[in-house]
Structure 1
Amino acid sequence: MTDPLSALEAAVQALPDDRTLRVRYAELLADAGRHGEAIEQASVVLREAPEDEAAKAVVRRAALAAAEPPGSTPAAAPPAPSDRHEDIDWSELEASIANPTEPPFVERVVAEHDEELLAEAAETAEDADPVAELRRETVRLADVGGLEVVKRRIDESFLQPMAHPEIAAAFGKKLRGGLLLYGPPGCGKTFLARAIAGELGAHFISVTLSDVLDRFIGESEKNIHRVFRTAREHAPAVLFFDEMDAIGAKRSGNTFSSFRNVVNQILVEMDGVDSQNDGVYVLAATNHPWEVDAALKRPGRFDRMVLVRPPDDDAREAILRVHLRRRPIEGIDLGDLVRRTKGFSGADLEHLVTTAAEKAMTESIRTGSVRPMRMDDMRAALKEVKPSIGPWVQTARNVAEYSNGSGEYDDMVEWLREEKQL
């Protein structure tokens, strides 16, 4: 019978990116008393997913077991406080301290002249706890497979004016901008935003709904102000709002004042009298631009919209190559897969490859030897994984037919006609 540890070791070598498989391997290593190897395998997972609770549990269990001396017995309970301190002369100890520390739980009245110091300390504490992470991006538009029409529009309408500030200044163009990326879910809008930041050589600040909303009144607006302030302090910077239809939803249909106030604050930060946004490029992504408040799409705000289409043939081939690259494969016909996956989003393609890999992995574990992925696995996966953008296309068709009087969705109408959806 095949040793489960050996089979799992072979499977991990074949599928190094499968975190669930690696954690299971680490658990079995810990069970077998191979604590150092268990910690090493779990640490690989934690480098990629620091919040993985299963991997953390393996590290804790293996570290405690490794630290326990062989044949050790539980330590004796410490003596009671009365036994340990009965010989201490507390009065003599107190007298020997020249400047005793104030007791920690004694209330102290704050003098009026301390208020300025307290305000400064509060501001420092606020800055020490940033709303969103600030980082540099290394990806470029060339790293985005296919989508040449989308990349060309982004380059012409957004990147070129920003990359030539002297010419822009000659025409009275200020170095700021707002661009709204929209399209079906799972088609790479966030990755495109990162690539734009990389092209501009700018810092990248990604903001989600959970970064902004706060249960206390007024704190959500403060969070918006803080992310804009961070972007201004680190200009050039790309400030990216993900799921903009949630953060900037229509105020007319929102019964919660906190949501309306968030939209108001974004408007103030983007073009208020006191805003200084030169060098701050505000991007946003949404699956449903028709749910974004109209005021946010007026000139000077998110006045440019670009449809991020589902991956075309070249993009699907590039995405499939990326997800197959580090897996054992044999006889995979990429051309056939590209033809069979028309209408798949990038997320759908990743799910397709993962499903096929699981089928090959299951058989490999059963036989105890690694079997590469084959076209039979991909065809079986295609029977289970279907395109997920159908509901979005239906909604987009309704918007194109009945809500495009201003022409803001003309690129979406053009794509729907090309795909014979209109």
Structure 2
Amino acid sequence: MSRVPPLLAVDFATVGAAVALVLIGLVAAGVVVSYFAGVSPVVEKHLGRPWKRGAVITRPLLQWERVNLFLALEALREASDARPVIGMGYWNELTPALAANASRNAPVEYTVRATSLSRSTKVVVSGLYLLATPGLAPFVAMLSRTALDILAPTADDAQKALDRVLAEARERNVYRGQVLMVEQAGPAGADGEPDFQIRFHDLPAVSRDQIILPDEVLQVVERNVIGLLTHADTLRKAGRGTRHGVLFHGPPGVGKTLVTKYLARACPAYTVILLTGRQLRLVRESCQLARLLQPALVVIEDVDLIALDRADNPDTTLLHDLMDQMDGLGTKADVIFLLTTNRPRMLERALAARPGRVDQAVYFPLPDRDCRRRLFEHFTHGLDLSAVEAGPLLDRTEGASPAFVEELFRKAALLAAERGEKSHPLRLTTADFDSALRELVEFGGALTRNLLGFRDEPDSGNAGMGFGPRN
């Protein structure tokens, strides 16, 4: 009589094999799912070939370029089928990301970049664009933290795609036509070039009416800047260069800085790049930016700080940078250099006395009697001068700069307020101006006169200001 196997008898070998098959299936499914969740399949589908058979061009990225490249890629994406940007997480190079089949489920990271003084936009930190631009082979662009990578079927296709992206970036450049300052952003990159950032600068608008100069001086100034801008096409057709260097020099406070502000706003088609103070050490980067954004106006305030005569200059690095950049731009560059100084005799002669670097020097004189009269009219806004003897005051301010006259009016208004004057417009007296002059000249001494601009004749004492002989 045969034995019946128990109902709960288990063939462990069979079960083990089944479990192994299930696990293998799950692993295989996971591999398949993981593969299709990566970037490689979508890139290969977009290109129509394995990505390894394509060509990659890498362009190192300076941080100030990021916003323009982002705007260019977004414009090309919208002109294609507007496929979503793929977040690339911590990946900064396209080829290793494809080789690792990086996940395309990472969130798209953004940072914020200014596009003007008052506006900003979000910009991709590391993202992948699948682009099908009319006239170009399908290509992939990766904007990362350090570079722009372009992958296309062939090297020629990749180069054409890169050229198109850069052309779009130039067309949408947020810095063109703006007033800018260059600042160092960090240490040198892989190519040895220091990175820098661009800051929009709020330059107050100055109208022509605010400029108090002899008419012939202002005409020379306008001809050498605004005239070059206005007639640039005519000059180019005649074979004349438009790169130009102008040096403004004269005592402190005579209006050199004010005129540069006026010219910057009078040339809206020009990108204005300001160098003053600590920005002076970035003269090379500023000139490179001017070359990219031309037509450009490069304003270098107090150029003597970096361009002293080499016999008196212990470090000529910045001087040579400036001269090399001015020479390197060439005569056809649409760039005007506007330099200012209070100490023209201390400048390196190879800079200040060589045509092709500085082509025109303009001397800003201390105001004559007519200009001082115009200054008085300009500074009387909000003031009542009916009780002031203007004639003697005009005589006593001979040799005073516009900055000195402005401070004189402010000081007189302060003294009127201290004595209890409350009228509107504020009523000033001759005594207010007498006290203001005495305080500026006697208590301020030579330092105040130098800072505000006042001709200090060695043998004139205080008599020139109407205070009688020096004791």
| TM-score scaled by length of structure 2 | 0.49
1:140/1:323 CA distance change after superposition, 3 Å: closer
Deviations 1:101-142 (A, max 9, x none): xxxxxxxxxxxxx9x954679799977733x65456643444
Deviation at 1:195, TM superposition (A): 2.0
The answer as to 2:334 corresponding to 1:279 is yes
Per-residue displacement from partner, 1:337-383 (whole Å, max 9, x unpaired)?
Answer: 32321110011112211221221111118x99997322221122233
2 CA distance for matches of 1:370 and 1:148? 31
- Which residue of structure 2 aligns with residue 294 of structure 1? 349
2:241 pairs, out of 150, 164, 174, with 174
The 3-state SS of whatever aligns with 2:241 is coil
User: 1:175 aligns to what SS in structure 2?
Assistant: coil
Tell me whether 1:346 sits opposite 2:415 in the alignment: no
Q: Which runs of 5+ in 2 are unaligned?
A: 1-105, 107-141, 149-184, 442-448, 459-471
In the TM superposition, what are the counterparts of 1:62-81 in structure 2 within 5 Å?
Answer: none
**Amino acid aligned to 1:229:** Q
Tell me, yes or no, if the aligned pair for 1:323 and 1:350 is still in contact at 8 Å: yes
Is 1:245 the counterpart of 2:304 in the alignment? yes
Which residue does 1:323 correspond to in 2?
Answer: 379
Q: CA deviation at 1:324?
A: 2.7
Instruction: Call closer, same or farther: CA 1:239–1:393 in 2, change over 3 Å.
Output: farther
Unaligned runs of 5+ in 1: 1-98, 100-113, 213-219, 395-422
Distance 1:392 1:288, change over 3 A: farther
Change (3 A) 1:126 1:333: farther
Partner secondary structure for residue 372 of structure 1: strand
1: CA distance, partners of 2:210 / 2:221: 14
Q: How does 1:130-149 map to 2 (within 5 A)?
A: 130=198, 133-134=200-201, 138-149=205-216
Counterpart of 1:151 (choices 218, 231, 241) is: 218
Higher relative contact order (CA 8 A, sep 6+): 1
For the residue of structure 2 that corresponds to 1:302, the secondary structure is coil
- Secondary structure at 2:419 match in 1: helix
In the other structure, the counterpart of 2:462 is none
Q: Deviations over 1:203-237 (max 9, x none)?
A: 3332113222xxxxxxx3xx212222333343333
8 Å contact kept, 1:228–1:269? yes
Counterpart position of 1:206: 274
Q: Deviations over 1:275-300 (max 9, x none)?
A: 69723211011011111111112111
Distance in 1 (CA, whole Å) between partners of 2:372 and 2:383 is: 18
Q: How much does 1:307 deviate?
A: 0.3
> Which moved further from structure 2: 341-350 or 146-155?
146-155
Q: Which residue is equivalent to 2:412?
A: 356
Cα pair distance change 1:133/1:293, threshold 3 Å: farther
| 2:247 aligned counterpart, secondary structure | strand
Alignment of 1:89-108 (within 5 A): none
Counterpart of 1:129 in 2: which secondary structure? strand
Over the aligned positions, Cα root-mean-square deviation in angstroms equals 3.7
Determine what percentage of the aligned residue pairs are the same residue. 24
1:24-46 CA-to-partner distances (Å, cap 9, x unmatched) read xxxxxxxxxxxxxxxxxxxxxxx
Residues 18-67 of structure 1: CA deviation (Å, up to 9, x unaligned): xxxxxxxxxxxxxxxxxxxxxxxxxxxxxxxxxxxxxxxxxxxxxxxxxx
Provide, for residues 158-192 of structure 1, a one-character-per-residue CA deviation record: whole Å limited to 9, x for no partner.
Answer: 43233212321233222221000000111001111
- Determine helix, strand or coil for the equivalent of 1:364: coil
Deviations 1:249-292 (A, max 9, x none): 1222222x3xx1101111111112x6697232110110111111
Instruction: Tell me which of 432, 440, 454 is aligned to 1:377.
Output: 432
- Aligned residue type for 2:307: G
Mapped to 1, the partners of 2:390 and 2:457 lie a distance apart of: 26
Q: Distance in 1 between matches of 2:255 and 2:331?
A: 30
Distance in 1 of aligned mates of 2:294 and 2:367: 32
The answer to whether the aligner puts 1:234 opposite 2:234 as a matched pair is no
Note the 1:16-35 alignment, pairs <5 A: none
Equivalent-residue separation in structure 1 for 2:145 and 2:273 (angstroms):
30
Partner of 2:393: 337
Instruction: Write the distance in 2 (CA, Å) between the matches of 1:381 and 1:281.
Output: 41
AA in 1 matched with 2:283: I
The one-letter amino acid paired with 2:303 is: M
User: 1:404 aligns to what?
Assistant: none
- Partner residue of 2:326? 270
In 1, Cα distance between equivalents of 2:389 and 2:440: 18
Aligned equivalent of 1:190: 257
Mapped partners of 1:371, 1:278: distance in 2: 52
Aligned-partner Cα distance in 2 for 1:312–1:369: 30
Q: Confirm or deny: 8 A CA contact 1:137 1:203 kept in the other structure.
A: no
- State the AA in 1 paired with 2:410: T
What aligned pairs does 1:405-420 form with structure 2 within 5 A after superposition?
none
- Is the contact made by 1:313 and 1:338 (CA closer than 8 Å) also made in structure 2? yes
Aligned match of 2:15:
none
Provide the rounded CA distance (Å) in 2 between the counterparts of 1:262 and 1:157: 26
Structure 1 residues 295 and 382: CA distance shift in structure 2, 3 A: same
Q: How does 1:38-53 map to 2 (within 5 A)?
A: none
Tell me the distance in 1 between the aligned counterparts of 2:247 and 2:325: 17
The secondary structure found in structure 2 opposite 1:373 is strand
| Distance of 2:320 and 2:249 partners within structure 1 | 22
> What is aligned with 1:89?
none
**Does the residue aligned with 1:385 lie in a helix, a strand or coil?**
helix
Q: Which amino acid aligns with 1:249?
A: L
What is the CA-CA distance between 1:325 and the residue it aligns to?
0.8
Structure 2 match to 1:254: 313
